[in-house]
Amino acid sequence: MNVLFLSQGSDVSDHPGWHDGMLRLQREGMVNAYDNIPYLGFAAENGWDRFYDYIVDKCNSLAYDVVYFQYFHRKGTPSPRECVQRLRQLDKAPLIITSAGDPFSDNLLKPDYPQDFKEISRLADITFSTQMGKAADKMVRWGAKNIIYMPNGMCQKRFNALGVEANHTFDFDVVFVGSRNNSKNPGSKYFWATRDREELVKKLSKHYGRNFGLFGHNWDTKISHGPIPFSEQQNTFRRGRVVVGGNPYSYSDYYTSNRAFFEVASGIPTVELKVPRIGNVLRNNDHVYWVDSIGGITDRIDRLLDEDASQLYQKSSLAAQYIEDRHTQYHRMKFKMVVSKHYIEHKNLKIDFPYFLDEVDIIEEHKFATRLKAE
């Protein structure tokens, strides 16, 4: 299978996990020819018209089986419609897939999905989305078809599964990594999410004092330690006995950011606010300690801090390994390629959902994890 990957970046190095995943699939024999074109960088240097022409020319000469428009939702991107129509007219027309990774609004609040994503998802054969529920229903209403849940995952090139040794030194009881959004628009979901995040940080700061490690942009507080580089997240999580995830920016089914996977893989017990159905991906009281509301967070953390440390961190190390074994960007890319290959060969979708817990009823879950057009 020949794949043209149009990655959301300025350079291949912007998304090393996705690129590494494709190279690994190539070594394993699932993918034959493979090219990665970071579309933001190409368009910045050559213009969007040249980018779209270049894609058609490459597909015409190299006969790709799949063209993947990754995270094609940068606001202001010129329409891909003509490009896709020209691809459809080639002697060997490729399968067109796309994906959405950000928690865009599933209702009337901003930010809405950008127009370029709405358009590519209408045109694509398959759309992979990190959130379902009302967000997927919204996509169906604008004409997207074959929407399939695909969780975020851990970048296996920048992070890996870690354990906590007996001599590990902690600086804090609790660590939180996340920035404070500056939205002042009540019509934006980020305005309300920021209020929730401020409430979360205030509660943690009041309860744990100097034993609370806060990292991120725009926190005006004496206990903030400021922002950290993206690649330093795991080292920062490991400074705390417990790590707390930020409040979700989406409560549509399944959504969680990639940071949750980095947190668990750090080997530190992770407390997160849950969204519907996410407990079918990461097991409660095992991989993650899910809580229903900000009000219940400190109680859950305190109970973890009171547990036998040896047993707690042994369990967290197993959870970290679970992420590395099943929830990396390599695994996500493999899932997309498996689905695409079957669709090309059989003209229908067969979805095995390798990211759900073993105990999940896949037949039952199918109706929540997909929105498929009638065959």
User: pLDDT digits over 355-369, tens only?
Assistant: 999 999 999 999 999
What confidence tens digit (pLDDT) does each residue in 148-198 have?
999 999 999 999 999 999 899 999 999 999 999 888 899 999 899 999 999
Task: Output DSSP code: residue 353.
Answer: -
Residues 98, 128 contacting (CB under 8 angstroms):
yes
Please state, in angstroms and rounded to a whole number, the distance separating the CA atoms of residues 1 and 338.
Answer: 10
Q: Which fold has domain 172-326?
A: Rossmann fold (3.40.50)
Confidence of residue 374 (pLDDT cuts 50, 70, 90): low
The arithmetic mean of pLDDT across residues 115-135, rounded, is 97
State the pLDDT at residue 134. 97
In the chain, where the domains are located: 3-152+328-371, 172-326
> What pLDDT, in 10s, does the model give residues 225-271?
999 999 999 999 999 999 999 888 899 999 999 999 999 999 999 99
Pairing of strands 370-371, 147-149: antiparallel
Please state, in angstroms and as integers, the Cα–Cα distance from residue 272 to each residue in 8, 183, 238, 247, 287, following that order.
28, 23, 16, 8, 11
Specify the DSSP element, H or E, that contains 148.
strand 147-149
Percent of the chain scored above 90 by pLDDT? 93
Say what the pLDDT of residue 375 is.
Answer: 55
The predicted structure's pLDDT at residue 295 = 95
pLDDT of residue 3: 98
Q: Residue type at 124?
A: A
What distance separates the 2 farthest-apart alpha carbons in the chain?
A: 66
Residue 46, pLDDT > 90, answer: yes
**Closest among 51, 33, 44, 39 to 7, alpha carbons compared:** 39
Q: What is the pLDDT of residues 322-365, one digit of tens each?
A: 999 999 999 999 999 999 999 999 999 999 999 999 999 999 99
Q: Is the pLDDT of residue 15 over 90?
A: yes
| Residue 35 · residue 63 · CB < 8 Å | no
172-326 shares the fold of 3-152+328-371: yes
Please determine, for residue 273, whether its predicted confidence score (pLDDT) is greater than 70.
Answer: yes
Distance CA 210, CA 173 (A): 9
What pLDDT is stored for residue 246 in this prediction? 87
Side by side, which strands form the sheet with 66-69? 34-38, 3-7, 66-69, 95-100, 126-129, 147-149, 370-371
* Secondary structure letter of residue 114 according to DSSP: P
Q: What SS3 class is residue 200?
A: helix
For 72, the token pair is 């094609």
3-state class (DSSP) for residue 188? strand
Q: Supply φ then ψ for residue 147, to 5 degrees.
A: -90, 125
Cα 210 to Cα 270: distance, rounded to the nearest angstrom: 20
What pLDDT does residue 114 have?
92
Number of Cβ atoms within 10 Å of the Cβ of 128: 25
CA–chain centroid gap for 323, Å, is: 13
Which CATH number does the domain 3-152+328-371 belong to among 3.40.640.10, 3.30.1280.10, 3.40.50.2300, 3.20.20.70? 3.40.50.2300
Q: What is the DSSP letter of 267?
A: T
pLDDT of 17 above 70:
yes
Cα separation, 45 vs 165, in Å, equals 48
pLDDT classification of 221: cutoffs 50, 70, 90: confident
In tens, the pLDDT along 66-123 reads 999 999 998 889 999 999 999 999 999 999 999 999 999 999 999 999 999 999 999 9
Q: How confident is the model at residue 127 (pLDDT cuts 50, 70, 90)?
A: very high
Encoding tokens for residue 198? 């401020």
Quote the mean pLDDT of the chain.
96
Cβ contact 6:70 at 8 Å: yes
